[in-house]
Amino acid sequence: MIRLEKRPSPSRLWTVVTPVLAVLATMIVGGLMFWAMGKDPFETIRTIFWDPLFHETFGPYSRPQLLVKAGPLILIAIGLSLGFRAGIWNIGAEGQYIMGAIVGAGVGLAFYPSESILIFPAMVIAGAFGGWAWAMIPGLLKVKFGTNEILVSLMLVYVAESWLASMAQGLLRNPDGMGFPGSRNLARDFPAASNLELISGTGMHWGVVAAFIAVIFAYVLLSRHMLGFQVRLTGEAPRAARFSGVKPARLILFCLGTSGALAGLAGLFEVAGPAGQVSIDFGSGYGFTAIIVAFLGRLHPVGILLAGLLMALTYIGGELAQLMLGLPGAAIQLFQGMLLFFLLAMDVLSNYRIRLTKPEAA
């Protein structure tokens, strides 16, 4: 008989190994899914994971896109990981991402067609504020009334999407756009408000720089600062945290506010750069995918950096597979979701040992 025996403490070895096993399991099961759809599983997996980086035709275009896609994922996941470590579950980063884009782009468009160098810094501050303010709604409701931050933050995503549609068709709509929904293209028509590549052909823009800075700050916070110790202590031993003087309300507001601000920054950098404008379909799902990135990276800043690059690779490879092999977009989304499913399944091995025992006689 197979029996699960709880470990005295989580295994460090399995904690490191399980993300790798989860990726391998995703490739195997994903390959079977692609085979059932009539596609060559080996060719599909190669197209997703190999061709974007090393194909002689697609590589030069895809490699810069790796940083473009990874930047917002890493930035959002770093913020989410702080709350997740403390047992504070912000599931609404997608809404905070959208609101950061709306507020940041709105500030920039208010000064069109100015060429002041202060416009983009003001947009960055406004974007962070928009995400922070949207995250404070579930934060304050939880602190004051004990509401569930999971449900409130998730429901606010749909409110943010409604705001996005309203802004794209109303207040922020391009007056020279022939009546079509969507704002002016910041990257093309408004240089002072654009987030263009810092080094041509690399995909490196200010959003990517902010993501790397967030990784460094999060690492220092969690490993060297008292606040980081309180975050870790609250998640691992809530009762001990209360006795040690940690103030839950203050920690909740800090974690939700930080994750909201970083998500808002990601939205601002995206709307001023790769996306270019506020549009009805601006919400790309980065806020939800970042949850997978956070857990795949073990809620560790360096792990999140690597997981963000891997998830960005599946985005680029998935788009390539849709183009070259005719795969539906839903199949790629399912393939990405398998990563989180298998990671959670493999986590059992970190906390439990598998024991083979003989059945006892009746």
Q: Is the pLDDT of residue 360 over 70?
A: no
Name the more confident of 157 and 17.
Answer: 157
What mean pLDDT comes out for the span 311-329? 90
What mean pLDDT comes out for the span 324-351? 86
Please tell me the predicted confidence (pLDDT) of residue 362.
52
What mean pLDDT comes out for the span 51-73? 87
Among 29-38, 74-83, 241-250, which stretch is predicted with the lowest mean pLDDT? 241-250
What mean pLDDT comes out for the span 215-243? 87
Task: Select from 96, 115, 123 the least CA-distant residue to 268.
Answer: 123
Name the more confident of 1 and 51.
Answer: 51
Domains parsed from the chain with CATH numbers:
40-326 (1.10.3470)
Among 52-66, 192-206, 280-294, 346-360, which stretch is predicted with the lowest mean pLDDT? 346-360
Q: Is the pLDDT of residue 120 over 70?
A: yes
Among 171-185, 203-217, 339-353, which stretch is predicted with the lowest mean pLDDT? 339-353
Using pLDDT thresholds of 50, 70 and 90, give the confidence band for residue 289.
very high
Among 100-114, 203-217, 333-347, which stretch is predicted with the lowest mean pLDDT? 333-347
Written as one letter, the residue type at 118 is L
Task: Select from 45, 50, 47, 19 the least CA-distant residue to 32.
Answer: 45
Name the more confident of 214 and 9.
Answer: 214
Close Cβ partners of 119 (under 8 Å, ≥ 6 residues apart)? 107, 108, 111, 192, 193
What mean pLDDT comes out for the span 222-243? 85
Please provide the average confidence, as pLDDT, over all residues in the chain: 90
Among 9-18, 249-258, 274-283, which stretch is predicted with the lowest mean pLDDT? 9-18
252 touches 142 (CB < 8 A): yes
Please tell me the predicted confidence (pLDDT) of residue 268.
96
Q: Is the pLDDT of residue 106 over 90?
A: yes
- Alpha-carbon distances of 118 from 115, 131, 217, 278, rounded to whole Å: 9, 20, 25, 21
What mean pLDDT comes out for the span 118-123? 96
> If you search the block for the tokens 């295994």, which residue do you land on?
11
Name the more confident of 54 and 75.
Answer: 75
Q: Is the pLDDT of residue 267 over 80?
A: yes
Close Cβ partners of 240 (under 8 Å, ≥ 6 residues apart)? 233
Among 72-81, 90-99, 213-222, 321-330, which stretch is predicted with the lowest mean pLDDT? 321-330
DSSP state of 360: P
Q: Is the pLDDT of residue 59 over 80?
A: no
State the number of CA atoms in the 13 A half-sphere of 9 facing the CB: 3
Please tell me the predicted confidence (pLDDT) of residue 343.
85
Please tell me the predicted confidence (pLDDT) of residue 350.
83
Please tell me the predicted confidence (pLDDT) of residue 39.
92
Please tell me the predicted confidence (pLDDT) of residue 80.
97
What mean pLDDT comes out for the span 215-238? 89
What mean pLDDT comes out for the span 200-215? 93
202 touches 208 (CB < 8 A): no
Please tell me the predicted confidence (pLDDT) of residue 201.
82
Q: Is the pLDDT of residue 286 over 70?
A: yes
Q: Is the pLDDT of residue 361 over 60?
A: no
What mean pLDDT comes out for the span 135-157? 96
